[in-house]
Amino acid sequence: MLRNFYNTFVNCFKIPELSSRIYFTLGLLAVAQLLGFVRLPGIDGNVLAANLAKAQSSGGILGLYNTFAGGASDRCAVSALSIMPYISATIIIQLLTAVWPRLSKLVREPDGRTKVVQYGRYLTLVLCVGQGIYFANGWLHPQSMAPLVLVQNHAWFVVQSVILMTAGTMLLVWLGEQITERGIGNGVSLIIAANILARLPNAARGLEGMFGGENPTHSLIGTGLLLVILLIAVIAGVIAITQAQRKIPVQYASRMVGQKMYQGSTNYMPLKVNYAGVMPIIFASSILMFPSLALQKLADIVHVPFLQDQFRGLAMDLAYGSWLYLLVYALMILFFSYFWVATQFNEIQIADDLKKNGGYIPGVRPGQGTSDYLHRAMSRITLAGALALTIIATIPIILYKQLSIDQNVAQFFGGTSILIAVGVLLDTMRQVESHLMMRHYDGFLKKGKIRGRF
C-alpha cells in the first residue's frame, strides 16, 4: 500500500497541468504562512517574544481562533484575524439566504450568486473592523504581562492596526480564491488547514514537556500509548463520519422532450450523515464563551456579597472545561446540528424538483409524501451524526482540563481542528485523483478510489 501511495505521489508530478497546480498552491500557501510572521508596527518585539516563550494557548473560542490563524494572533501579525471574518460572513449570508425570501430569490437568479458573494465580502470588511478593534484594545491592555504597545497615541495604533489586519484578511481571501481557481482544492479551506497543521511544532514542544526533560508530567508507557491509540481512533472516526452517507434510490420515468424520448433510469440521492460539518462546534463554542465572562463582570459590578458569591460560583461552573460546560456544550452541538439541517436542507424544494423532472423514490408518493420521507430520513441520520460529532468535539476539552494534557497537544485529538484538517485533505485528494484518472493513472489507494467513497 505504501508503495502504491508513493507511485501515485510521483505520478502527480508527471502531469504538467497537475504539477503546476500543486506548485502554485504550495507557493500561495507559503505566502499565507509568511503573513503570520509580519508583526504589526508599534508592538514591542522583546516583550512579545518573552510572552510567547512562556505562554500557553488559551482554551475556548480564543484558543480556537488562534489555531485557525496558525498562531498569528499570538504573534500580533498582520494576519492576526486570519480568514475567520470571511468564514463568519459566509455563514451569516448562508443563514440569511435560508430565512430571508428576498435573498433566497436572489440566489436563484442568473447573476444573483455573484451579488451574494459580493455582499459576503462587504460583511467581511465590517467584521474585520469590529474584530480588529477588539484585538487592538486587547494588545493595548494586556493581562499579566508588561506593556506591549510602544506607540503613545493609542487611537492611531488602533486605527493603523485595524487597517493592516483588514488588509491582511482580504489578501488571504484573494489568495484563497486564486488557489481555488488556478490551484488544487478549495483555497480558503486549505489556508485554514495549513494554519492548523502549522501548530504541530507547538504540539511537539508540548509532548516534550509532558514526556521529556528531568521532570516529565506524564508516563510515556501509559499516557503516551493511550494518546497514540486515541489519535488513530479519532482520525478513523472523523474519516468515517465525513464520508458516511445514506443513499436514497431515485427512479426517473421515461419522458418525451420535444422530438426525443429519454429512457428512465435509476440513480440515488446521497444524504450526508454529518450534514452540518463543523458548524455546530463553532456555534456552540462562540456562544459559550460569553456566559462565564458576563457572570464575572456582574460579580465585579454588584456590591451585594450574596449575589457576588452566586455569580462567581456560576462563572466557575460554566468555565471552560468544567463538567457543566461539557454538558451544555454537548447539548448545544446536538441542537445546532439539527438547526443547521433545518435551515440548509430544504426537503420541500427537493421533492418539487424531483416531481418536475419525473423522478420519484420507489414506494413513496411524489410531492408531500416524498418531502415527509426525506424529513424523517434526514432527522434519523442527523441524530447519529450529531452524537458522533459531540464525542469528537468534547475529546480535546476532556484531555486538556480533566487529564491535564497540554492544550497544543489536545487540539489534535478531536474537535474542530481535526475535522477541518481531515475533511480538507480528503477533498483535495478527490480533486487530485480526478486529474490522475483523466490521464489513466491510479489514485492514492487501490482502483483509484478512496476506500469508503461512493
> For residue range 220-272, what is the model confidence (pLDDT) as tens digits?
777 778 888 888 888 888 888 888 889 999 888 766 666 666 666 788 888 99
What would the mean pLDDT of 166-183 be, rounded to a whole number? 93
Closest CA to 193 of 58, 372, 339, 67: 67
In the predicted model, what is the mean pLDDT of the chain? 81
Residues 429, 402 contacting (CB under 8 angstroms): no
Q: What is the pTM of this model?
A: 0.79
Residue of higher predicted confidence among 421 and 24: 24
- 343 vs 327, residue with greater confidence: 327
> Which CATH fold topology does 1-197+417-454 show?
Preprotein translocase SecY subunit (1.10.3370)
pLDDT the model gives residue 450: 41
pLDDT at 116: 86
C-alpha cell at 240: 468515517
Domain range annotation of the chain? 1-197+417-454
Bigger pLDDT: 372 or 277?
Answer: 372
Q: Are 175 and 187 in contact (CB under 8 A)?
A: yes
pLDDT for position 143: 65
Q: What pLDDT score was predicted for residue 448?
A: 43
Rounded-to-integer distance, Cα 115 and Cα 107, Å: 8
C-alpha to C-alpha distances, 117 to 93, 99, 102, 231, 327, nearest whole angstrom: 9, 17, 15, 37, 37
pLDDT tens-digit readout, 92-113? 888 888 778 888 788 777 778 8
The pLDDT assigned to 57 comes to: 47
